[in-house]
Amino acid sequence: MRAVIQRVSAASVTTDGKIAGQIGKGLLVYLSVGKDDSDTDAEFMAEKLAGLRIFADEAGKMNLSVQDVKGEILIVSNFTLHGDCRKGRRPGFDAACEPVMAKRLYEKTAQILTEKGLKVEKGVFGAYMHVESVNDGPITLLLDSQRLF
């Protein structure tokens, strides 16, 4: 699994003119499932997202997690994170997981985070979406469950 993680003060996702999910302070996570990913990758991703210390403590140091600050998470599916742009001008998506399994692992990641006591909002899997966010910092990180980066 791959994720682009942004620390936000607010974020929302809209589909067909209706808000599918919105949060205040927390993490906006664009999440992509690879064809070789499994439940273990979803568990890894959820653990990392819940515990990643990217919020400021009283001294202004990035020392607190989204759990520590009682923040929220908005997860948006985004298979294009598995796009390969190394050749030609059109990205290849051979590394992306097929939709049925991808949706299951996307939902599993959200479920694990919810079980950890976090408020989790989601986009609509596979839909065309508009995402709005107010980046805080900006803080943007990349995460890969295969530890490629």
Q: Domain 2-85+104-144 classified CATH 3.50.80.10?
A: yes
* 58, HSE (Cβ side, Cα atoms, 13 Å): 0
DSSP, collapsed to helix, strand or coil, labels residue 114 as helix
Specify the pLDDT at position 148: 87
pLDDT in the model for residue 149: 84
Residue ranges of the chain whose pLDDT lies below 70: none
Question: Helix crossing, 99-115 with 39-51: angle to 10°?
Answer: 40
Domain boundaries, the chain: 2-85+104-144
Q: Is the pTM of this model over 0.75?
A: yes
